[in-house]
Structure 1
Amino acid sequence: MAPPVADYEFLSDYGYTPERELGKGSYGVTICATHDASGAQVAIKLLRRGESIDVKVRRELMHQLYPPLTHVNIARLFTVFLTPKYLALVMELCSGGDLFDFLVNAENSLPRLRTVFSQVVWAAAFMHSKGISHRDIKLENALIAEKNSNLVKICDFGACKNISVDSAPRSVRGSMPYISPEIVLASSKRNDLTYKYEGEMADVWSLGVLLYVLFQKSYPFQDPNNPNNTRAVAQRIIQFNYLPFTPMVPAEVRDLCKRIFVPVAKRITIKELSEEMNRWWSLGLCEAYMPHEPSAVDPSLLRIPQPSMAMMEQILNEAQHEGMLRRRIAAQASTDFSVSQGTFDDVVSRLGDQKM
């Protein structure tokens, strides 16, 4: 049988040499490839054309490019192009795996854990400064730049909201262990058009869950003896009833969680959280990003021009239809517990309205 990479030789027609598969899921497949013009390695996410090119994909692309999310701790999108079968997203390669792998496959020092967490905070803070909330911060959506590195980059922007162009958040988004009480209650209030929540403060809650998981190695609102009981998880979340820490967890981590797992009016802000990360670094509580300087993104990739919004709309509209291309369009650009409305209808149907 031919190696899987042979299935993607068509990428050579677009200036990329496929190297290996990085991952495969319901969305499609992600390939490591070499950019022929520069020799730089990139990740190419191949999404099947047709129904899979939905609102989530459209939102992910639009929010990454308009305005550009250019930050050291955000995985960069370079270019988008169409093939007869796929919408291809060419992105910055992060070869070190995600934070879930990072957590389960290695023993990590406390300074390294602080370093990793602080970067996710700074990425979220940058997005918030652009008016964008992520709404799905979790271990699987934060990538390690390369093996043995501490450099972290967040990814997957399909649940984002931009306050300048989108309506205020009111729908259920995110992954169950990480969602805030406001989002849990969004389902029970789905017929109340006046109910809204702050996406940025929901992100802060998710950061708190991420912090807890990194240091405690378990989810704060999930009973380890009955982890699949989503109703119990939701009940704990809206009651701010997180499981106690073990003695080995540092005091500063416990303190932050106490300031995050509270009603939204009392919750620490992203600005205050970023300032706390700066304090960690100033006190020498973190460690260097990596044993050597991270290699910069190849300049030839950064020089690829960003497509106009009209061009991106044209690409996305055509990508919703399968079959041969009417024309080649190449536009360049600078888990359990997945949540659905149906899940929450069942989970919170009897929780009732509760004030926070």
Structure 2
Amino acid sequence: MAASSVRGAPRSMPPTGGSPARRSAAGSSPGARFRALRRHYTVLETLSEGGNSTVYRAIRCGSTDSASGLGEEVAIKVVAKTGMNEGARVALAREVVVLRQLASESTSLRYNEVLEDSLYVYVVMELMAGGDLLGVLSHARTAFSTPDALRVVRDICTSLAALHDRGIAHRDIKLENVMFADHDRTVVKLIDFGLCHRRRPGGDLLARQPCGTAAYSPPQIVMRVPYVPEEGDSWSVGVVLYALLSRRLPFGSASPADGGHAMEALGRRIVDSSPTLHGGVWDQVPFAVKDLLSALLSKNGSDRPSAREAIEMIDDIVANLAEDDEAGRDADELILGAQAVVQSLTGSRRGTSGRSSGTARRCSR
């Protein structure tokens, strides 16, 4: 079973020269560069680049319609209008709508506002200071511990449950789209809602548009058959959990740039193969966690746990692990106590024996 390590995995980078947003900005006059943005924000650095957008870290320096205060650091997604096709417009509009809908959810990425001028659209959002899972995993020397991996995945599922309750599926869950909001990496949030699926009340349960990232795609998308988007999210969560525990992707990876043969091979592995869950690091992973992984990566979408069911399974696993730890500590304390008693009794007998011998010797004299 081929698998691809995420150690030092290349980041998603644009072609040479940067994204259209960055190239357009570099080629425009100082007066036109980020015209709607520069009155309210000071751009500090580039955080990431995508196909038609660049994300910057910025600081608020002037008032806008947003209620956020001055001096706040934010992330700003700058999308160039030049070359933006209809699909890109729809994806951007979809992302903004979803961010607005989730504004009341504490587990969701905070949306501030949208600005626009003749060249760009600017989506101002919460700054994710702790980086994304791919970066953290790539720079770590070891995989995540089981408790840490479960905590991250539980937070992902909590965010997904809030989405799914609103009839929204993310459809692009991957290491790059899971970020830590803080430097201590205690708060996990999802980003990039451009590919999400929004089901209207009473709408069709199934989606037909294949989308997402190949290495995280469920068999149904690979086979181009109708699928339940929420079940696709569960599969992708399984891929993320596998990667956190092993620092490898369960089915390997490929992109269109690698060529058709590589993509076909990846698709065959996703459809026909099961990931390795034994040997090496897997010998240290509890069976209950492997059962969770197997359920999330079930080839049949209806067999996968929903986001809320996965949360319940994780809570049960964590509770059992805590009980096992407590039982282990109790056993250690009993062993230590027994050893202390044995040493005490042994020392007492030796002392008594010594005194008796001495007394006998003194009496004999």
Q: Same fold (TM over 0.5)?
A: yes
Would you say the 8 A contact 1:209–1:219 is kept in 2? Answer: yes
Match of 1:17 among 42, 59, 64: 42
1:56 aligned residue? 91
**How far, CA to CA, are the matches of 2:212 and 2:38 in structure 1?**
37
Question: How far does residue 85 in structure 1 lie from its aligned partner after superposition?
Answer: 1.5
Task: Name 2:275's counterpart in structure 1.
Answer: 242
Deviations 1:241-267 (A, max 9, x none): 223343233323211112122212322
Amino acid corresponding to residue 108 of structure 2 in structure 1:
I
Larger CA Rg, structure 1 vs 2: 2
For 1:268, the equivalent position in structure 2 comes to 305
- Identity in percent: 29
Q: Decide whether aligned partners of structure 1 residues 281 and 90 sit closer, same or farther in structure 2, where only a CA change above 3 A counts.
A: farther
> Does residue 31 in structure 1 map to residue 66 in structure 2?
no
Matched, 1:197 2:197: no
Query: What corresponds to 2:219 in structure 1?
Result: 181
C-alpha contact (below 8 Å) 2:92/2:194 kept by paired residues: yes
Aligned pair count?
271
Structure in which a larger fraction of residues adopt helix: 2
Distance 1:171 1:76 in 2: 28
Contact 1:180 1:205 in 2 (8 A): yes
Cα contact 1:115–1:150 (8 A) shared by 2: no
Q: Match for residue 288 of structure 1? A: none
When residues 50 and 10 of structure 1 are mapped into structure 2, their CA distance, relative to the original with a 3 A threshold, is: closer
Task: State the SS of the aligned residue for 2:150.
Answer: helix
CA contact (8 A) 1:23 1:31 kept: yes
Counterpart pick for 1:231 among 253, 264, 277: 264
Q: Please say which of residues 85-94 and 15-24 is displaced more in the overlay.
A: 15-24
1:253 to 273, 281, 289: 289
1-structure distance, mates of 2:242, 2:291: 11
Q: Provide the TM-score with structure 1 as the length reference.
A: 0.69
Unaligned runs of 5+ in 2: 1-24, 64-68, 323-365
Deviation at 1:268, TM superposition (A): 2.0
In 2: Cα distance, 1:26 partner to 1:279 partner: 41
Mapped partners of 1:69, 1:281: distance in 2: 30
Report the Cα distance in structure 2 between the residues aligned to 1:223 and 1:29, rounded to whole angstroms: 24
Shift of 1:212: 0.7
Tell me whether 1:217 sits opposite 2:247 in the alignment.
Answer: yes
Corresponding position of 1:292: none
Contact 2:37 2:115 in 1 (8 A): no
| Distance in 2 (alpha carbons) for counterparts of 1:173 and 1:233 | 15
Match of 2:178 among 133, 142, 164: 142
Cα deviation digits, residues 306-338 of structure 1 (max 9, x gap): xxxxxxxxxxxxxxxxxxxxxxxxxxxxxxxxx
The structure 2 residue matched to 1:70, chosen from 95, 104, 114, is: 104
Q: Does 1:90 align with 2:124?
A: yes
Name the CA shift for 1:112/1:11 in 2 (closer, same or farther; >3 Å). farther
CA apart distance, 1:69? 4.8
Q: Secondary structure at the match of 1:43?
A: strand
Alpha-carbon offset, residue 133 of structure 1: 0.5
**TM-score, normalising length from structure 2?**
0.67
Unaligned runs of 5+ in 1: 190-195, 286-356
1:53-102 CA distance string (max 9 Å, x none): 4222222222222x335323321221001023210000000021110011
Out of 59, 79, 84, the position equivalent to 1:47 is: 79
Give the 3-state SS of the residue equivalent to 1:18 in structure 2.
Answer: strand
Could you say which structure has the greater relative contact order, defined with CA pairs below 8 angstroms and 6 or more residues apart? 1
CA distance in 1, matches of 2:90, 2:37: 29
Q: What's the offset of the Cα at 1:13? A: 4.2
Distance across 1 between alignment mates of 2:51 and 2:253: 28
Summarize the Cα distance change of 1:141–1:282 in structure 2 as closer, same or farther, 3 Å threshold. Answer: same
Find the aligned partners of 1:9 and 1:267 in 2 and give their Cα distance: 45
